[in-house]
Structure 1
Amino acid sequence: MKHHLTTYSHIVLRKRYKDVTFSVMYETINGGLVEKFNEGTQSKTEKYKNIEALKILADNGRKYRLLPVIQDRQKNPDAFNLINLRYVDIKVAESTNGKNAIQSALKEANSQNVSEVIIYFTKKLDSNREAFNMLKATFRQKRAKNIEIIIFIMPDKRVLQVDTKRFK
C-alpha cells in the first residue's frame, strides 16, 4: 500500500515528536483519515488493535494520527486527534466485563495525561448499566480528572461519544 505524505503536516506536536514524520495510511470518502508514523514503533499487538479502532473512527469522519513510543521516560499517548488537537489513549477491551474495562481504561488514560480516551469493546458487554455506573463512579471519585472526552466503539462498530463534563 502506498502512503501519501500527510496533508496535516502544519499541526505541531510536542517537541518529542519533532523528528517523526507521518503518512496518511487510511482515508475515507467522508473525510476521515488515519495517519501513521514513519519513524518509531508501537508494540506489534497494540499497534494493530489501535489501527483497527482508529479506522472505525475514520469511517465515521474522524481524523487521527497514530503516535510512536518515544523512549524518553515520559508517558506515551497512542494517538493524536487531528480535529480537536487532543492527545489520545486507546484501550481495546476483549472482555465482556465493561465495568472492569472502563475502570482500567480510565485509570491508565488519566495517568497518561491525555484528555481523550477511546475504549473499543470487541465483545458484547454483560451489562451496559453496570458499565455506565462504573463510568459515573470513576468520575465521582475523581480518578479520571484529566479525561474530557470518552469515545466508545461498540462491538457492532457503533461509535458513542461522551463529554465528561456531565460527570464532574
Structure 2
Amino acid sequence: MIRKGVLNRDTTMGKKVQAFIGIVLAVGGFLLLVGGIINMTDPNNPNILQDVVTLPFPLGFLVGGIALYRRSQKNQQKERRVSLERGIISLARQQGGLVTPTEVVLHLGVSIEEAQALLDGLCHRGLAQILVNPEGSLMYRIEGLLSPVEKATATNPENLS
C-alpha cells in the first residue's frame, strides 16, 4: 500500500524534474537556434543550405521545452488547488459542514481572495452552497458531508416516491 505522503512527494518531484527538463530543452534549443542563425549570417559560411535544413531541430527543442515546462506548471497549479479544496472539505467536516472564507484563510494560510475563489469554485461545481446568517456574514455549506444519523437513515431513492 502506498502512503498518501509518499505518493504526493513522488509526483511533486516528478513535476519538478519535468519542469527542469523543459527549461533545459528550451534554453538548449534557444542557444542552438541563435548559433545556427549566427552561423547562417556568416559571409564565409559555404554551408548555408545545410544550416537552413537543420534549424527546425533547435526550434523543436525550444518549442517542446516551453510546452513541457508550461504543462508541468499547469499540473502543479491543479494539484495545489485540489489540495486546498481537500483542506476546505476537511475543515467543513470538523465544523458540521459549514465554513466561512475567514476560517479557510486561517486554516489553510491562503489570502482572503484565494479562499473566496476556492469556495466560489466549489459552489460553481455544485459541491457547496452559499448561505447568509442574520448578521449578513457569508457561510458555505459543503455538500455531501453527512452526519452518522443521516447516513444511517438513508434509503433507496426508489422508495421516496
TM-score higher than 0.5: no
Larger relative contact order, structure 1 or 2 (CA cutoff 8 Å, min sep 6):
2
Larger Rg: 2
Question: What's the TM-score once normalised by structure 2's chain length?
Answer: 0.23
Question: What's the TM-score once normalised by structure 1's chain length?
Answer: 0.22
- Between structures 1 and 2, the one with greater strand share: 1
- Between structures 1 and 2, the one with greater helix share: 2
